[in-house]
Amino acid sequence: MALVAGVDSSTQSCKVVIRDAETGTLVRSGRAAHPDGTEVDPQAWWEALRSAVEQAGGLDDVAAVAVGGQQHGMVCLDESGEVVRPALLWNDTRSAGAADELVEELGGGETGRRAWAEAVGSVPVASFTVTKLRWLARHEPENAARVAAVCLPHDWLTWRLGGAAGLDALRTDRGDASGTGYWSPATGEYRTDLLERALGRVVAVPTVLGPAEVAGRLPGGAVLGPGTGDNAAAALGVGAVAGDVVVSIGTSGTVFSVAEAPAADPSGAVAGFADATGRFLPLVCTLNAARVLDAAAAMLGVGLDELAKLALAAPAGADGLVMVPYLEGERTPNLPLATGAVHGLTLRTSTPGHLARAAVEGMLCALADGLDALLAQGATVNRIILVGGGARSEAVRRIAPEVFGCPVLVPEPGEYVADGAARQAAWVVQGGAQPPTWSAGRSEEYAGSAVPRIREQYARARDLILDRPAAS
């Protein structure tokens, strides 16, 4: 039995699954936490990966490994391959001003946004690597001058697994490259002019591999797959096909589908990413998802299961109590300085159940806005597949159909990013034009009628959002 390993190096943790390459049967798994914060020393990811691998029984008997990782994070390396400064993650909003500058420089407003969308499929916001490079050039010129190569979290981990043999050995894939802001999914080429515009000069970037190309080898001989961004890996993990919309509730909330043609949304709501199979992955991302539930549970002094019970015991629409969950600012809509808010407090709605319900509904409404944006770009939705840590919440599963207005399918709890990476690893070993077919696990369908007032009252509150007060 040949084994393959898939890694999910996501925002909050690293997960490793080891599966049978032919059938996809889960054999072993492990996980380890990542540090908090939006600026992280990549060495912490390496240590978490080692610890998760050890918990999963090691990699000595696997034929191939692939890494899925949080997208966009800026990992800068110097001439000798040392990390120049801690990585700025996708949810670090300090480069919001740099994003505005870059849009301005390509014509500003609608013209600038359209120019970026046409060049790289997406309008840069603070999450994108290109804006982080501009921030570095402006705010840390000494560090910027030391940068010899820039790569992403999954690229760096793949490179380390392969022995880190010089900057020329850096590899990435289409999926993750498409989140940099200096690689075009439409042409499959780097836009070194945009990289230079951001940083002031061109530095080394990873070679972009095809979906099942070999990225290197572990010292023990196992083959390394190209890996990909965590959302593209999740699409592969759930086996998303045309008509599927995946809603992932992790640290980020994402809504995406697999498409045959690249997207270029000048409004900036939909990012026109590439996927991990040679296709495309139009995607909407919110900054506030599972942690909204964590925050609500902390406010109420309860655990996540109790939060779900409270939310489900409260009436749909929480009698008008609305939470706008912009706790870390927001990316879609692009409001990096926004704060969250609770509207509609009355004596009647001042209960733990109402607050719990408002948190779940608010988080889902932000994602439903994302679904609208995706549909406006031509996506079709035959079914919604709910994944990510937040999908473990019974309240999320039951309230989602009321907010999205259609049934949702919840695959059995699992690590779909790591699974997608494992499936890619199996593809690299087996070859062929398509990834291996693994039998899908059980899914549960959650049905329920739409409750339009949930989104109507949310939309009114969302439009009243205020900026963060200046730090004292």
Ligand X SMILES: O=C(CO)[C@@H](O)[C@H](O)COP(=O)(O)O
Residues designated as active site: 230
Min. distance of Cβ 333 from ligand ADP in angstroms?
21
Q: What angle do CA 362, 363, 365 make, to 5 degrees?
A: 60
238 interacts with ligand ADP by CB under 6 A: no
389 interacts with ligand ADP by CB under 6 A: yes
Query: Which residues make Cβ contacts (< 8 Å) with residue 392, sequence separation at least 6?
Result: 304, 413
251 interacts with ligand ADP by CB under 6 A: yes
Distances (CA, A) of 307 to 13, 184, 320, 354: 22, 43, 19, 11
Query: Is there a binding annotation on residue 71?
Result: yes
**Residues pairing with 446 in the sheet:** 408
Question: Which of the choices ligand X, ligand ADP, none does residue 390 contact, using the CB cut-off of 5 to 8 A by kind?
Answer: ligand ADP
11 interacts with ligand ADP by CB under 6 A: yes
Touching ligand X, residues 285-324 (CB under 6 A): 285
Of the candidate residues 7, 40, 86, 90, the single one contacting ligand X (CB under 6 A): 90
Question: Which of the choices ligand ADP, ligand X, none does residue 424 contact, using the CB cut-off of 5 to 8 A by kind?
Answer: none
Of the candidate residues 95, 228, 251, 457, the single one contacting ligand X (CB under 6 A): 251
69 interacts with ligand ADP by CB under 6 A: no
369 interacts with ligand ADP by CB under 6 A: no
Q: Which is nearer to ligand X, 10 or 95 (CB)?
A: 10
Q: Which is nearer to ligand X, 291 or 455 (CB)?
A: 291
d(CA 3, CA 18): 7
Stretch that binds ligand X, among 70-78, 259-267, 377-385, 400-408 (CB under 6 A): 70-78
127 interacts with ligand X by CB under 6 A: yes
| Binding interface with ligand X (CB under 6 A) | 10-11, 70-72, 90, 127, 179, 229-231, 250-252, 254, 271, 285
